[in-house]
Amino acid sequence: MIVRLAWHELRQQLGGHVFWIVFAVSVLMVAGAMAIDELRVGLSEQGARTGVAAIVRTHLVWTLFFLFTAAAFVGEAAMRDEATGFADLVRATPINLRSYALGRSLGACAAVLLCFVSVPAAMAASGAVLGLGTGSPEAYLFAFFTLAVPNLVLASALFFALASVTRSMTGCLLGAAGLLTLYGLAGDHGRSGLTLIEPFGLAAVAEATRGWSSAQRDTMLPPLGGVLLLNRMFWLAAVAVLVGLGTWRAELRAPRSRLRTSGLEGVGGDANASQSAALPAVTGRAPPALPASSGWSVVAIQIYVRTAFEVQRVIVTPAFAVLLVMGLAGATAAAARVVGTPATIAALASSFQVVPVVVALFFSGELFWAEHEHNVAPLVLATPASRAVLVVPKLLALALVFFLLAATSAGAGFFVELSRGQPPAPMSYLSWYILPKAYEWLLLGVLALFLQSLAPNKLAGWGYLVFYLIGSLAFSKLGWQDPHYSYGGYPGAPLPPSLSGARGVGWYRLGWGGVAAAMAAFTCRHGATNGRQDNTRPLWRRLAGRAG
């Protein structure tokens, strides 16, 4: 049964667009890294392009990149039934729920592994095309089966457990973001000495090949013994624990609404008690309550109320809290390493970058698709509110959230300075960091919402932005960093002009603000003007597209 369920899940994943988009992106990036030095993110500059070391290193680094893929695939497999309302039907069957959850997750894990085949395939193919040779088959087999497969199985098991415990896709994505952040903070240096407990084996491989010459690294496989074998065995044991935890929690998983509904059913029981309440609306009919709702004052109040609602839906979430804590930890650590307000602000500007990007990525999708996902669209679209009243508050909510992030991270630096007995300069924090950073992040938030408005679903919208971010990084590494064509860019970024000494920054900001305004206007109007009627578009946009 488990195998059959896994096969069913695998087929479902293969039938989705996400699998093939990730596959194609991996092929392009691996091939790009083979052809262009500047695109070799996380890879060594030395040695043969298709040597054993390069093959091993590529597999290891790409298992890190595949964390989000594993989170998306496994998280979706775990949460799909809940999201689609199919879960109750499954629970009503005699199937063992643990087997069901395990089967689904195994299928998703198989999809992750299959998708990862894109990495060695692209490497070998591009090596052949570039005349570098395809590389040793033994190296590919070693790298894939002893390094990539255990790593990806470990990631899948981790996200299976996270999805079962947190019962949300958010839990998986945060797990992936947290793990990547830890790796980013640690760097290669931080991993040394962690050969056994570093989960993805980068340190263990480095230890196993310590002292080897470049020629040896290119021709010899790292020995599968000693610390490397111990590392693999240790984390495979961890996989067993995580799968056990996930499977155990899967049994306990029940619809939240059911858990909380107890006690409410009886509320209807007081129907008789209030039977005498004014029933027909005609008896208590108020004066016409729907005024001309197109006046600017009405629209302004609608936007204000909706914005407050949307902001609450972002900041009162565990996801935001976790992201904020993670970001603040990094910012505080960075601020603690320097002295003085200008240096602290520079440290904050460099260290507090990941959280705003993840917030823009994650919450743009959550906000934009909320009406569609929760099927509120039929209610809100039947109101006379304009489409802008639905979209603008989402933008404003992101703006407020970014301002809060900037203020909070600035607060971290401020208090670090205070704790050292140094008087911080509040106006410098405000004008050098809080306002410009909030503005920069808002530009990214507008882009994220714009991309969501073009996407057929939330996952694709996230993919578009990830693709943009990776593309920006790649172009940046290729030297294409001119702020004239780098969205949101300005001379001296990420430092404020007062620290970098760059001139004309305000004009760049103004220009990119204009671009963002155009995208925002398009996002507001897109639903109302686009007449496509495919079912993959957000419901409220599809409906609006038809009805104008």
- Which spans of this chain sit near another protein (rule: CB under 8 A)? 256-257, 260-261, 264-265, 267-268, 270-272, 274-275, 277-286, 288-294, 297-298, 301-302, 305-306, 309, 313, 370, 374-376, 378-386, 389, 533-534, 543, 546-548
Least Å distance, CB 528 to another protein, is 10
Least Å distance, CB 160 to another protein, is 23
Least Å distance, CB 356 to another protein, is 25
Considering beta carbons, is residue 187 or 284 the nearer one to another protein? Answer: 284
Considering beta carbons, is residue 211 or 268 the nearer one to another protein? Answer: 268
Contact 444, 360 (CB under 8 A): yes
3-state secondary structure of 377: helix
d(CA 109, CA 74): 7
Least Å distance, CB 375 to another protein, is 3
Least Å distance, CB 536 to another protein, is 11
Q: Per the omega criterion (within 30 degrees of 0), is the bond before 342 cis?
A: no
Cα angle, residue 43 at apex, residues 40 and 45 outer, rounded to 5°: 80
Least Å distance, CB 393 to another protein, is 11
Taken in order 390, 396, 401, 402, the sign of the CA dihedral is positive
Residue 304: how many CB atoms within 10 A of its CB? 12
Contact 51, 219 (CB under 8 A): yes
Tokens encoding 169: 């896709």
State the DSSP code for 479.
T
Classify residue 26 by burial, with Cβ atoms within 10 Å: 0-12, 13-18, 19+.
buried
Tokens encoding 437: 């950073």
Secondary structure (H, E, C), 137-167: HHHHHHHHHHHHHHHHHHHHHHHHHHHHHHC
Q: What one-character-per-residue DSSP string does 321-362 give?
A: HHHHHHHHHHHHHHHHTS-SHHHHHHHHHHHTTHHHHHHHHH
Cα angle, residue 410 at apex, residues 408 and 414 outer, rounded to 5°: 115
Considering beta carbons, is residue 93 or 283 the nearer one to another protein? Answer: 283
Considering beta carbons, is residue 279 or 517 the nearer one to another protein? Answer: 279
Least Å distance, CB 521 to another protein, is 19
Considering beta carbons, is residue 114 or 254 the nearer one to another protein? Answer: 254
Least Å distance, CB 401 to another protein, is 17
Taken in order 524, 359, 426, 503, the sign of the CA dihedral is negative
3-state secondary structure of 452: helix
Residue 157: how many CB atoms within 10 A of its CB? 25
Considering beta carbons, is residue 217 or 537 the nearer one to another protein? Answer: 537
Considering beta carbons, is residue 8 or 285 the nearer one to another protein? Answer: 285
- What length does the chain have? 548
The amino acid at 289? A
Spatial CB neighbours of 119, under 8 Å, sequence gap ≥ 6: 26, 30, 58, 59, 62, 148
Considering beta carbons, is residue 256 or 503 the nearer one to another protein? Answer: 256
Considering beta carbons, is residue 394 or 437 the nearer one to another protein? Answer: 394
Least Å distance, CB 84 to another protein, is 12
d(CA 275, CA 292): 34
Dihedral (Cα; 324, 327, 333, 335), 10-degree rounding: -90
Considering beta carbons, is residue 384 or 514 the nearer one to another protein? Answer: 384
Least Å distance, CB 519 to another protein, is 24
Least Å distance, CB 272 to another protein, is 7
Classify residue 31 by burial, with Cβ atoms within 10 Å: 0-12, 13-18, 19+.
buried
Least Å distance, CB 395 to another protein, is 17
Q: Per the omega criterion (within 30 degrees of 0), is the bond before 291 cis?
A: no
Least Å distance, CB 452 to another protein, is 18
Considering beta carbons, is residue 419 or 535 the nearer one to another protein? Answer: 535
The amino acid at 208? A
157, HSE (Cβ side, Cα atoms, 13 Å): 19
